[in-house]
Structure 1
């Protein structure tokens, strides 16, 4: 299948130059579908899973429209507004849109709670073209008279369904009602439930719907595994083994306390890890996320605060250390891997008393997978680790200061190497002789928009089977990996 370039979609040269310098040359399906309409000034409703390329899909037309207008930003009166549900997502959206805005000499600013608002006030008073904001802090600043939305030409609402899940829709409604009705409005969401449809009807004018997959349709390049363990000790060993691979991986826990404790346990065991949970200060969250996204630390232990707000390319593995409470959370957590055309694996570790509820959860998520009874040495586990590494018990670990470690409240980290583990280069070491069911071009395209993948995660999609038969296992354990869904259909309608 031939790829479509951004220039062919009508993206202006100043923006394509920025994209090309960043290695982004070919557009993803949601970008191919939406850009002709968004660049033409139409209101657009974009539906697609997280990781499908939505951020660039709305950042490009926003920067192009404002850049063509050449108007000068006035103090406290931004020309464009992007609303996001979490601080992490707002920061990452700004990282995408800021270089595009800079191509036209425009400035951006982020607005969210958890930090002093003084710098945000100062940025607004100097005049910014594009504001990326979370609803709560933005409403505070509006009420204090620091910002007015009457000059907004383009309004973007990203992850509207997550806004609804967090109870933000009343605030979003109040904010959007303050933007000019004549302005262009773009809404991106994985689903249209929980009141999102009411936002569409009220604020979008004759919108064009572009749908690339659905939130409930599992990613083809994502392989799901369910590992049954027989007790707490076995679970701990399996989780430590899965965390010890060389590529980026996210481990999800249900509570903030569990995330903090597991990150410390892994670090003490010679597996540098950082945590991301609600009790950390914003500065600590930023530092830990930067350490993870920059490659200094390969393991992130997170609560659901990270399930929708963290977009980091090259995550090879997501581990549900604790199965989530409901199926939407499972899909959102799992969506941290297999992003933007890349492949990835998802593991759910299940204790005996969790088996029935996990079975029900996966049925609702439309995931079909055969559970496997495992321990840390089982072949289904070691294949995901990518190397046969000795388990390092906490009592055998070197002094904690020799590793990357996270301290709640300040996010400081210390550098070091992992003891007792050999390096490995290249892919994951899948079973030999397996057939490829993931297009080889996916890894190359993923690198084109997401940068180099850590630990060879993009390359392992080439020539590595996503369904492993009984012959691939040792010790009599039959490995089974399942892909859900039947592909990605695209629909365009008015």
Structure 2
């Protein structure tokens, strides 16, 4: 009914298997096409990226005169992380395949500014970038042409606010407003995309959007309200205080939890990952979330040596990696049908890895909302998925807390997992010896991991444990930890 460009429609069907729009797309695409500012709020995995990219591409390809690179940039998409930038740029590049005269660009750092400036000088029809890198070019790249800017889009707006990018965003917005040609026949549209509508995001929207349309994805369908009717959003839960807020995850997502004695955490993780990764003919893709960079490094070293099948590559992703390393890990995991990604919350929001079977939260998040965002990496669009939360016995009240916020988790008996691994070990598959929890080391004949990795992981874990907010502090209190047992969980002597 929208009468989109035929090549664009065919491309959506062929490359994205998009034969029909999702609920959020039904609300957002028409609103953007008719020239409105849009505030888009939807739970993860509902097609938000295509909801704003589709109308942008439609607008670009339906101009009376074909656009050229010399015309400069027509759309600017601001994202909070490099990985999300890579992902949005890839989707955009695929959408633009039939339209060779439209050139996408990516500005996320990791390469010489001179190379980026050269591409900007030639002309980039649609730009995807992180706030820091974009604001840098805004200040220093004279050839940055935004005279014909039509779309200013902020993806993961709540994350942009949480990460403190307000100053960079203001710099970008001021630049576009100042440099855009006042004689442009159409007004510039601004689109905000967010998983939540927290107070900071509402204030951000109020300062940027003009008479916006609010589009949200609800269980009853896509809901659109004109400006001034934000109260309807509050009825859906956004107006509630933090203590009573209700979260929503796809019904196709099965949530589980497991209570593990601290000393057996590492053994249990290795056992779980191993059991889910055999036989070798089975597709197996899992993400393991931890609370610190040092833990990522430790597990990235350990897991390939912890009797996992040889054909399961282990990838790491965290903020200390170089851009080349992050890009290699991101694309390597994305392309694999059997792989494990160990990461911090840098991968918790926005990223759309295909066919994720399990989300494993080895360390519970410090914020309740992060639990939801982590789980959102699986059961996306129409697929199913599973999520497992590791807890220590003194942390079990966290399950009830999640329940109060509308999240229901089923227990997995720990004994089943450990007995299965013990039988496997006695069967002679492992070998080795040793007496620490490190029992992981009983399963193999490989040498211990470098002591420095283990010590750093132990230190980072205990520090991160002390950062839980007031809502969960009583459950995750550092005084409840037995530091000797924590040390053992990182294969260190008690």
Is the shorter-chain TM-score for this pair beyond 0.5, marking a shared fold? yes
What residue number does 1:227 align with?
258
Counterpart check, 1:123 vs 2:123: no
Identify which of 324, 327, 340 aligns with 1:286.
327
User: After the TM superposition, which residues 324-363 of structure 1 pair with which residues of structure 2 at under 5 Å, given as runs?
Assistant: 324-356=365-397, 358-359=398-399, 362-363=402-403
Distance 1:10 1:58, change over 3 A: same
Distance 1:217 1:173 in 2: 32
Aligned equivalents of 2:165, 2:119: Cα separation in 1: 25
Partner of 1:167: 164
2:34 corresponds to 1:43: no
Q: Any idea what the Cα deviations from partners look like across 1:60-96, whole Å, max 9, x if unmatched? A: 1001101122453455931111111110001100111
- Larger fraction in helix: 2
Report the Cα distance in structure 2 between the residues aligned to 1:43 and 1:135, rounded to whole angstroms: 21
Residue number in structure 2 paired with 1:474: none
Offset of 1:100 from its aligned partner?
2.0
2:406 to 366, 381, 386: 366
| Distance in 2 (alpha carbons) for counterparts of 1:326 and 1:71 | 48
Count, aligned residues: 386
| Matched ranges for 1:351-430 at <5 A | 351-356=392-397, 358-359=398-399, 362-363=402-403, 365-375=405-415, 377=417
SS of equivalent residue, structure 2 residue 215: strand
CA contact (8 A) 1:135 1:168 kept: yes
| Paired position in structure 2 for 1:96 | 91
Equivalent residue runs for 1:272-311 within 5 Å:
272-295=313-336, 297-311=338-352
User: Matched residues in 2 for 1:377 and 1:354: separation?
Assistant: 19
Would you say the 8 A contact 2:33–2:55 is kept in 1?
A: yes
* Equivalent residue number for residue 364 of structure 2: 323
Alignment deviations for residues 275-297 of structure 1 (CA, whole Å, 9 cap, x no partner)? 10112111111111111110165
Match of 1:190 in 2: 195
Moved more, 21-30 or 330-339: 21-30
Q: Aligned-pair distance for 1:333?
A: 0.9
Aligned to 2:207: 202
Structure 1 unpaired stretches of 5+: 1-7, 383-387, 401-406, 408-494
Q: What is aligned with 2:272?
A: 242
Cα offset for 1:206?
Answer: 1.7
Instruction: Summarize the Cα distance change of 1:76–1:10 in structure 2 as closer, same or farther, 3 Å threshold.
Output: closer
Using the TM superposition, give the Cα deviation of residue 11 of structure 1 relative to its aligned residue in structure 2, in angstroms: 2.1
Deviations along 1:264-285, one digit per CA (max 9) or x if unpaired, are 2111124331110112111111
**Higher relative contact order, chain-length normalized (CA < 8 Å, sep 6+):** 1
Match of 2:306 among 254, 269, 277: 269
Check conservation: 2:85, 2:106, Cα contact below 8 A.
yes
Asked whether the equivalents of residues 330 and 365 of structure 1 are also in contact (C-alpha less than 8 Å), the reply is no
Q: State the alpha-carbon separation in 2 of the partners of residues 259 and 362 from structure 1.
A: 25
**CA offset digits 1:414-468 (Å, max 9, x no partner):** xxxxxxxxxxxxxxxxxxxxxxxxxxxxxxxxxxxxxxxxxxxxxxxxxxxxxxx
Compared with structure 1, are the counterparts of its residues 29 and 390 closer, same or farther at alpha carbon in structure 2 (3 Å cutoff)?
farther
Q: 45, 56, 77: which one pairs with 1:82?
A: 77
Q: 2:288 aligns with which of 248, 251, 257?
A: 251
Displacement of 1:179 in angstroms is: 2.9
Structure 2 Cα separation of the partners of residues 297 and 208 of structure 1: 42
Separation in 2, partners of 1:303, 1:390: 31
**Counterpart position of 1:150:** 147
- In structure 2, the partner of 1:414 is none
Asked whether the equivalents of residues 110 and 323 of structure 2 are also in contact (C-alpha less than 8 Å), the reply is yes
Q: Give SS of 1:319's match.
A: strand
Unaligned runs of 5+ in 2: 181-186, 219-236, 238-245, 278-283, 422-426, 432-439, 448-452, 454-494
SS across alignment from 2:258: strand
Does residue 138 (structure 1) correspond to residue 134 (structure 2)? The answer is yes
Contact 1:251 1:302 in 2 (8 A): yes
| TM-superposed deviation, 1:231 | 2.9
Q: CA deviation at 1:395?
A: 6.5
- Shift in CA distance, 168/102, structure 1 to aligned 2, threshold 3 Å: same
Say if 1:88 and 1:398 are closer, same or farther in 2 by CA, change over 3 A: farther
Alpha-carbon spacing, 1:378–1:218, altered in 2? closer, same or farther (3 Å):
farther
Distance 1:344 1:183 in 2: 39
Q: Which has the larger radius of gyration?
A: 2
Question: Deviation per CA, 1:315-340, whole angstroms, max 9, x where unpaired?
Answer: 11100101111101111111111111
Q: Aligned-pair distance for 1:363?
A: 4.4
Tell me the alpha carbon deviations over residues 290-313 of structure 1, each in whole angstroms, 9 at most, x when there is no partner. Answer: 111101651000001111142112
Query: Normalising by structure 2, what TM-score?
Result: 0.72
CA deviation vs aligned residue, 1:203-251 (integer Å, no higher than 9, x gap): 222211111048921221111111001232x222221133232421100
Q: What is the RMSD computed on CA atoms of the aligned residues?
A: 2.8
Once the two structures are superposed, what CA deviation does each residue of 1:349-395 show, in whole Å capped at 9, x if it has no partner?
Answer: 11234334x3465246432335454146269x99xxxxx99779557
